[in-house]
Amino acid sequence: MSTTALVCDFKHLACGDVALVGGKISSLGEMISRLAGQGIPVPPGFATTSHAYWQYIDANRIREKIGNFVAEWQAGHETLAETGRAIRRLFIRGQWPADAAAAITTAYKKLSTEAQIHDLPVAVRSSATAEDLPDASFAGQLESYLNITGEDQLLDACRRCYASLFTDRAISYRQTKGFDHTSIALSVGVQQMVRSDAGGSGVMFSIDTESGFDKVVLINAAWGLGENIVQGTVNPDEYQVFKPLLNDSSLVPIIQKRLGEKATKMVLGRSRHPPTRNVPTSKAERAAFVLADDEILALARWACIIEKHYGCGMDMEWAKDGITGKLFIVQARPETVHSRQDPAVLKTYDVGKKGRTLATGLSIGDAAVAGHLCLIEDAKDIDKFIDGSILVTVATDPDWVPIMKRAAAIITDHGGRTSHAAIVSRELGVPAVVGTGNATYVLHTDQEVTVSCAEGDVGFVYEGISDISTTTVDLTELPAVRTNIMLNLANPSAAYRWWRLPADGIGLARMEFVVTNAIQVHPMALIHFDRLKDEKVQEQIAQLTTGYPHKPDYFVDKLAHGLAALCATFFPKPTIIRLSDFKTNEYAGLVGGAQFEPSEENPMLGFRGASRYYSPLYREGFALECRAIKQLREVMGFTNAVVMVPFCRTVDEAKKVLEVMAENGLRRGEGGLEVYVMCEIPSNVILAERFTEHFDGFSIGSNDLTQLTLGVDRDSSLLADLFDEQDEAVKWMIARVIRVAREKKSKVGICGQAPSDHPEFARFLVEAGIDSISVIPDSFLAVKRHVVDSEKS
């Protein structure tokens, strides 16, 4: 493309044309010219070039004036607001050179003719020649105009795009990034509008935005035009898709589907002025997902194609035409945060004693800070912000950037992971909790709080100042070992934090956490909803299960998706999922649980684990657990899921459980399904040889095994000195089951804290020949080092 051209068609552009049309538009051209053949649909359009920008400046004799205004501001003689206003006025009052105006209107007529629509509605977007480079996202700094029709409106919108290069926020941003204000040009992209006002739109990343986990696609979606998501004025739907399984068209590897509030949507204006407007969404729209599963998968596959072509993590925008039902990619640019980080360095934060939870939302980043709040609800009051405090506001847009840079953390009422507040906070390295829904209502200025984004994808605002500690590890310094070191994980939302650890899988995935936090309802209460005696419980369950006509499906779907996030983290390495091991008093605490649970004097030794699975009191509930794992493995594709049976007292009980599992579609050995048993009862050790006939491996539960071997209540403070996993009797039990497992070629591991607390215990396990040791993430490094030392000796 000629560097003197004033206008060029998208299809003639490529990534190398950044100096001519900026990163945003050159990327559109790249996709149209290089990826259309791979099925990536991008709406057609054209762009004004940087040459047209400089011609406009020189024709209106404003180049020197811009330099003078900027110099006066940099010298402190004028305010930022005065400087920006004066420069923007120069652009808006300028006149188009005749040849530039003719080139733009001719290209617009051609685009309209090809679409067979007179005065085709177009989206007009700014693209700076330094935009979307690896170290600069220019998130929301420049203006876009939607639903522009007619030549006069188009020329005016292009002029206003030029002026937006000198908004206060854009000037401030360039100054921070060290860009020369007078050397950056601006291109204007004119693109056929996708009627997403009648459909939906959103943002998509080819990596997890918070952890940098590179095996998932993150998609946000809202009804209407996409500006509300970018501005953070709506809480959108959120979907996660597992990339490695997308090539198999028979699978549905959607890890997460989170329904957003989506209270408003942006639609076309009733007239040209204004061209767009916000309206409330209907109750039906709020209760429904914007995208169907096949559309989620299509977008995720496109994200993988685009990421592969560009060779880096990508930040994309998509739109769905509500008239035709077709999906389009409307922007793609390099992800600008994790691309700058060293993947070999892992930094973690730990929040000490926590106060009362004041608010929760989506966590942005993985840091934690404590300090005083500064609540500002309107951008006109940003001069009241106190440097170093924690900003609380409804939502942010680019006008807030000057104080966001000076904030210790940010809390907003609205917004998703791809909102303006999230994008800018991420780039600045400032932790943020977005989409709380009520922060400006429950928090107040000068309040002492702790903001934690270090606990997974849920961010917390705690009352008071907590102690915060940090740990930084160079992962390249960890040597390989023969013994597998695995992780104990329960919280799916926190799993991705640990994907960089060189773990050999998940040795203990606790199903109870997902049931308690994501499901909350007793499975029997879902199966026998009509039999519930408590009307308030019925109302609560009805609200939780909105969108699920058949209530047991709610349990299966939520459990499968929660477990999928755990299986994804270290895929294809194994994730050992322990079937539910609630005690009756814990089950009774679930919504609707009290009606279905017996009262026991000693739940620890009562109706728990394997004994429940074949009992008439719970057999139907266990069937839902089996359905969830079957969906996880066969529908979603996570064949690395290993099932583990807890508290299996006898060999006959083992047979009964395996029979019930087989009745529900989980037959040991079929499709590579492995079934382990927890070794936590002396009978498991005494009859270890016979248990190996029915299970593929053992996982030693050292807490219960110690308790039952020594006859010590592990929760008794009076007997705390006697509870010792290193007692000779306990070690004899462990050594025996390891020996039997090795003789029978069964796998054997341990999940417990002792190997991290006691190096000598880790040495004992290694010398006994254990296959794997599974520990909590915070203990991983210590255990790894203990094992290294043990294997050397």
The catalytic position among 158, 161, 679, 751 is 751
Residue 281 falls in which region: left (phi positive, over 0), alpha (psi -120 to 50) or beta = beta
d(CA 641, CA 566): 9
d(CA 407, CA 387): 6
DSSP codes, 16-73:
GGHHHHHHHHHHHHHHHHHTGGGT-----EEEE-HHHHHHHHHHTT-HHHHHHHHHHH
Element (H, E) at 113: helix 98-115
Sign of CA dihedral 335, 341, 345, 349: negative
Burial class (CB in 10 A: 0-12, 13-18, 19+), 12: middle
Q: Does the annotation count 420 as an active-site position?
A: yes
Share of the chain residues as helix, strand and coil, in percent rounded to the nearest 5: 45, 20, 35
Which residue reads 């040459």 in tokens? 51
Element (H, E) at 489: strand 484-489
CA dihedral 186, 190, 196, 201 (to 10 degrees): -30
Sign of CA dihedral 289, 291, 294, 296: negative
Distances (CA, A) of 440 to 368, 378, 443, 446: 20, 11, 6, 13
Q: Does the annotation count 8 as an active-site position?
A: no
d(CA 440, CA 410): 12
In terms of DSSP bridges, do strands 327-334 and 772-775 run parallel, antiparallel, or are they unpaired? unpaired
- Hey, what are 30's tokens? 């790249």
d(CA 128, CA 305): 25
d(CA 128, CA 107): 21
**Centroid of chain to Cα 234:** 17
d(CA 760, CA 726): 9
Planar angle of CA 255, 260, 264, nearest 5 degrees:
150
Sign of CA dihedral 776, 777, 779, 782: positive
The catalytic position among 420, 522, 561, 786 is 420
- Hey, what are 243's tokens? 């990339």
Positions marked active-site: 420, 751
